[in-house]
Amino acid sequence: MAIRKGAKVVRQEEMAYLSDDSSFYGDETVQKDMEERASSFKPTEWWEHAAPSLTKIASTNLASATVAKAPKLYNPYEGNPCGRQLNESVDEFLRRLPPASTPTSSRVPWIFVANPYRKAPKPNNEGELAEGPPDDDSQWAKFVVEGGNLLEELVVLKNKIEKEKAGSTKATITKALNVQRNIIVEKLLDTAVEMHCTSGKWMIFCPPEEVNDVWAVVARATVDNDLGIAAKVAPDNGEDQRPRLMCIYTKDFSDRADVTRVVQKLKELGLIETRGSKIYYKCDAYTFLGLGSKNEYQIQASLYNSGDFLGSKRPASKGKENGYFYKKKDHGDWKSMEYE
């Protein structure tokens, strides 16, 4: 065989180190030990206890990695023509039900939009569709009965006081009535909390020519989880000059932190100062009991106004008669607000 010029010729004796007699395999003791280990080696058992390599760890992590799941969305108005559906964008919803021109009807008594990130059951037949989405544990029918009993108790107390203080000055009678009225109000609010009937709303009244624009801001902020649990607006009832009512709902009227957060967001959105006056907050418990602005029981229909939260004055520790009520976390009772 020809040999390339310059190549090194390896003689046969130089290949001896590859023979079976070479120390390449170790001495007899080493070879015996290796043979014993090979004969007793159990691959399955070794794989069960073997420490995974970095490559194995990386492969396992890659295989188990999952894309972040989209949050579950909820809609108590799903399937109801008067509410936004989950499969329609906010723009589509606003085009389908513009409050300025959508006529009031039995199918659309109000126009609703829900916060899709807040779990809420569908309203039942007790009439909750007229107000904010209820909780799973809400007992509205029972509350209306017990609340009605408390109002009747107030009527009895009023008649008793007027009879006992006949001949007294009007101021004396009014003072005695206010004391009893505030006691009944405290009982009403505590009963509402106990029965999970705590939804309430900030109320905005705006001219018909502005209602579409204002509603668009509220609807988008509600869907984006920037406001409360839901919102509604009155459709066109044919009275063009009448201001439209818009309600921005919160879950719990006794949760002042959340009530404050929502009204501050409304301010940031420019929906308070542009109205030219304060806006008011009313609990749905009062609405279900029919306690309007001029109710026969002379109960203040609104729990709060925006000035209570956005003004420079702070509530004083001493309450006043028949004022705005709030729950004091440290005492657990209802106190009325008085400003310093």
Give the chain's mean pLDDT.
Answer: 81
pLDDT digits (tens, 9 = 90+) for 283-305: 999 999 999 989 999 999 999 99
Tell me whether residue 193 is exposed, middle or buried, using C-beta atoms within 10 angstroms of its C-beta: 0 to 12, 13 to 18, 19 or more: middle
- What is residue 80's predicted lDDT score, i.e. its pLDDT? 92
Residue 120: burial class (beta carbons within 10 Å; 0-12, 13-18, 19+): buried
Would you call 284 helix, strand, or coil by DSSP?
helix
What is the model's pTM? 0.73
Phi-psi category of residue 292: left, alpha or beta, with phi > 0 → left and psi -120 to 50 → alpha: beta
SS3 305: strand
pLDDT of residue 310: 85
Number of residues assigned to the chain: 340
CB neighbour list of residue 128: distance below 8 Å, 6 or more residues apart = 134, 138, 140
Domain boundaries defined on the chain? 90-135+198-336
- CA separation, residue 20 to residues 23, 188, 225, 228, 300 (Å): 8, 100, 79, 85, 106
Give the CATH fold of the 90-135+198-336 domain.
Answer: RNA Cap, Translation Initiation Factor Eif4e (3.30.760)
